[in-house]
Structure 1
Amino acid sequence: MAKATEVTAGSAPAAPTNFTYPLSLAPFNLPLQGFLAVNPKFKGIAIGAFVFNEEGKLLLVQRAAHDSLPLLWEIPGGACDFEDESLLHAVARELWEESALRAKSIDTLVGNGVPFSAHKGKGPLWCKYSFLTRVEGYDVKLDPNEHQAFLWVTEEEAREGKCGDVEFQYTFKEQELAVYEAFGMMKEKTTLG
């Protein structure tokens, strides 16, 4: 029976920067300012990390009760900062800050990016890019300021919104659809060897 696990991060070292990535992701190896210059319709970029464990289960994290979108579920991620060396470095940083997992490689983009506007669709246009990310180990430690629990879910559980006795809802429909796409990509990767 699966239960949502609550764990908190202690004082952790800086986010890892020694991950690998394929040439196909070179367009995301730009600093935020450079990426926005090439994509001027966006005013900001958010990123996400799809992390699967050795059993093929996906990491989902539950937003803190005191944060925006309280108690809803998502993959680790967040906003790219101008201080990030690149968008790919933002993926590694956000993954580290939110789960204490070290990115070993950022393998591929899931989907084509999801444009969105903050403030109920009336704010500036942002885009969220999410990536299949391999990690060094699976010992998750959450930052309680952002997330309060995590689950490793199968595709069936992800689609049912239930893992053991924990029922969950995604932050947005787009997040849910991206989860399904990531599972499909992992299946295809496994089939191709």
Structure 2
Amino acid sequence: MSPPYKFTFSPSLSPLTLQTPQTLSSKSVPSIAHLMTSVLVLRQQKQPLSPPQILLLRRSPADSYGLKWEAPGGSADLTDASILSAAARELFEESALGESHFHAVLGMTKQKAEELFSSSTAEEKRPENWGIDPEDEQAEDIEVHVSEEMKILFTTFHEPDGIWGKVNFLATVAEDAQVEIDLEEHVEWGWFTEEEVRTGRALRSSVITETIFPDEELSDGGKRVMEFTSQAVWGSLLEAFSVGRELGIIV
């Protein structure tokens, strides 16, 4: 039986289709206890001079990192044929986006996050509780050899049950694709500009609310304050815009 999602990918990612996530994890040094994916979905708005946007979801208050914002993603399963298939499945399960195209693999860009956090502008605009510091979770990017011709970046985090690894994919979906979230996992979603991500302040019209809960304390001058799951995730989101421009996905 065919899965309810389809995906395509750039030729440069072809080696990733030849190995299961478990095989990929075994090539990591240090070894990965849990392998995850994150899908950074960009879109270019149709209106002239409108800035590009990225898809983000807000976690359920009952979940870990409750009410924090993140990109769609999750753990690879034993049934996933490849890490690309795992990413496409998680994207579908969390956002109902059933057709996607994967362009590239991104790291967490720890240096970018640290540079932005040290700037006075970011200090003035960012929320008080911005997210876990990379040092606190021992987050770092490591190179993993997929084949003789290909190396990719795993973003690794130290957890009590071992080292977790995440593969961040840059992706696009059809222009008319409709998002629908799983309310057991997420309570809000939206398409956000680079400026909204960088400052952590979003127009209220950017946020699609699927449930009702007290939230007015998360406001700043009429804008919604966005708190991310970690500073590493925040750096990855900003890197997606940068690489998206380099690849011609957005302008």
Same fold judged by TM-score > 0.5?
yes
Q: Give the structure 2 partner of residue 42 of structure 1.
A: 32
**Take 2:233 and 2:83, find their aligned partners in 1: how far apart are those partners?**
19
Of 100, 104, 116 in structure 1, the residue corresponding to residue 100 of structure 2 is 104
Picking from 46, 51, 56, the partner of 2:41 is 51
TM-score norm. by structure 1 comes to: 0.84
AA in 2 matched with 1:49: V
For residues 143-165 of structure 1, the C-alpha deviation after alignment (integer angstroms, 9 at most, x for no partner) is 00111101211111100101112
Equivalent of residue 116 in structure 1, options 146, 152, 157: 157
Per mean C-alpha deviation after superposition, the further-off stretch among 35-44 and 58-67 is 35-44
Large movers: runs of 4+ above 4 Å: none
Query: 2: CA distance between counterparts of 1:58 and 1:191?
Result: 12
Aligned 8 A contact 1:96 1:102 in 2: yes
In 2, the alpha carbon distance for the partners of 1:108 and 1:82 equals: 23
Report the equivalent of 2:135: none
Please state whether the residue corresponding to 2:62 is helix, strand or coil: coil
CA drift at 1:73: 0.2
Q: Which residue of 1 aligns with 2:173?
A: 135
Alignment partners' CA distance in 1, 2:163 and 2:99: 28
Please tell me the residue identity of whatever aligns with 1:117. Answer: H
Which residue identity is paired with 1:188?
Answer: E
Of residues 70, 86, 98, the one that matches 1:74 is: 70
- How many residues align structurally? 177
Counterpart AA for 1:162: R
Counterpart of 1:186, as a letter, is G
How far apart in 2 are the matches of 1:191 and 1:96? Answer: 21
Provide Cα deviations, 1:162-182, integer angstroms capped at 9, x if missing partner: 111221111011000001111
| Structure 2 segments unaligned to the other structure (5+ residues) | 46-51, 108-152, 204-222
Q: 2:20 aligns with which of 21, 25, 31?
A: 31
Shift of 1:190: 3.0
State whether structure 2 residue 152 is matched by structure 1 residue 152: no
Match of 2:232 among 147, 170, 174: 174
Gaps (5+ residues) in structure 1? Answer: 1-12
Look up the equivalent residue of 2:39 and give its one-letter code. Answer: A
1:120-163 Cα shifts (integer Å, max 9, x gaps):
xx331121111111213331100001111012111111001011
Give the TM-score normalised by structure 2. Answer: 0.66
Change in CA separation of 1:27 and 1:172 when aligned onto 2, cut-off 3 Å: farther
Equivalent position amino acid for 2:98 in 1: R
Distance apart, 1:77 and its partner CA:
0.3
